Chains A and B, each alone.
Chain A
């Protein structure tokens, strides 16, 4: 048995980059401190905020909902509620929607569930059959559209997602390796744009495995299933490299994050915010005249008519 570096209780985890063993109590403290640090660093939560949590029912968003509720429930000046998007992926999404419902009812949090079917007339499974684009294109565009629209209509001032340190550093390195610096600039926290509810990522300082450890210690449902459409070969290569690098040199995930953060002032100058228009069809914010969701939807509708 290995004991906690802070007390004499049994350790449940080894934080390698800090060379520290922690028991359940001190790990929970450590984890929540990281979350609070990220929230404060980027002023993610302010008095008067009404925070929408994007809750898919997967391990990250379930844990995020739990932690935000714990950190904020005593505050009278901040509210949270959850939004679940049901894309319509047979076999994969229904169990996580059930998990999402259970966690919000256990915690007593307001919860709305919106679906592709009722909003766009088609499930993602149906879109994939009719259209010629990749599933993740449809899913990404329509999911973000629906999350933003629902959050805004429900009066949210922030939209919190479960992205963790691993997700963020993968995206940072991926964009860099693909020479997509404009996309890199989109990772800057707190870009305010009209019609878009500001996105916040309170887990950006925590390791993905620590999210699982935290969830296990609180008996939260840890759904480990992967989306059947998930297919990102380049990202998977970058991900595997980062884990090998981290295994050899603990703490390097933080190095990638800090390098990116140092570039933020320069990225802001290179890519100033462009003013968004309102989509001519639906009124949602878009840099173009017609938004990406309406463009894709029109294409899908004409294809399903002709087939």
Chain B
């Protein structure tokens, strides 16, 4: 399935579309993108989602929450 990702807060890119196999969790997806799950909040339909939840088709926003560097 296709997942559209919007990046917010100091990423090198703003947007990416990826192909994700069923059964993948958000923290696996983040790691595949080279992002430490501890440093972001994943938002879907305006609400935060647990990072160990399964990825669903559609659009998500990955917010980088860390500061100071």
- Residue tally, chain B, CB below 8 Å to A: 25
Min distance, Cβ A251 to any Cβ of chain B, angstroms: 11
* Cβ < 8 Å to A, chain B residues 35-67: 36-41, 43, 46-53, 63-67
User: When the two chains form their complex, are residues B67 and A216 in contact, meaning their CB atoms are under 8 A apart?
Assistant: no
A143 at the interface (CB under 8 A from B): no
User: When the two chains form their complex, are residues A208 and B48 in contact, meaning their CB atoms are under 8 A apart?
Assistant: no
User: When the two chains form their complex, are residues A209 and B40 in contact, meaning their CB atoms are under 8 A apart?
Assistant: yes
User: When the two chains form their complex, are residues B48 and A222 in contact, meaning their CB atoms are under 8 A apart?
Assistant: no
User: When the two chains form their complex, are residues A235 and B69 in contact, meaning their CB atoms are under 8 A apart?
Assistant: yes
Known contacts A224-B8, A226-B10; decide if A243 and B50 are in contact (CB<8 Å).
Answer: no
Bound Cα distance from A72 to B14, whole angstroms: 39
| Dominant secondary structure at the B interface | loop
* Cβ < 8 Å to B, chain A residues 187-211: 208-209, 211
A177 at the interface (CB under 8 A from B): no
User: When the two chains form their complex, are residues B67 and A226 in contact, meaning their CB atoms are under 8 A apart?
Assistant: yes
A-B pairs under 8 A by CB, number: 80
User: When the two chains form their complex, are residues A209 and B36 in contact, meaning their CB atoms are under 8 A apart?
Assistant: no
| Dominant secondary structure at the A interface | helix
User: When the two chains form their complex, are residues B68 and A209 in contact, meaning their CB atoms are under 8 A apart?
Assistant: no
Min distance, Cβ B47 to any Cβ of chain A, angstroms: 6
Known contacts A212-B41, A224-B9; decide if A11 and B50 are in contact (CB<8 Å).
Answer: yes
Known contacts A224-B64, A244-B36, A247-B37; decide if A14 and B50 are in contact (CB<8 Å).
Answer: yes
A interface residues, Cβ below 8 angstroms from B: 1-2, 11-14, 21, 24, 58-59, 166-167, 170, 208-209, 211-213, 216-217, 222, 224-226, 230, 232-233, 235-236, 239-240, 243-244, 246-247
What would 30 A/B residue contacts be, using CB atoms closer than 8 Å?
Answer: A1-B53, A2-B53, A12-B47, A13-B48, A14-B50, A14-B52, A170-B68, A208-B65, A208-B66, A212-B41, A212-B63, A212-B65, A213-B41, A213-B48, A216-B46, A217-B47, A217-B48, A222-B63, A224-B8, A224-B10, A226-B9, A226-B10, A226-B67, A230-B69, A232-B69, A235-B69, A236-B69, A239-B69, A243-B39, A247-B36
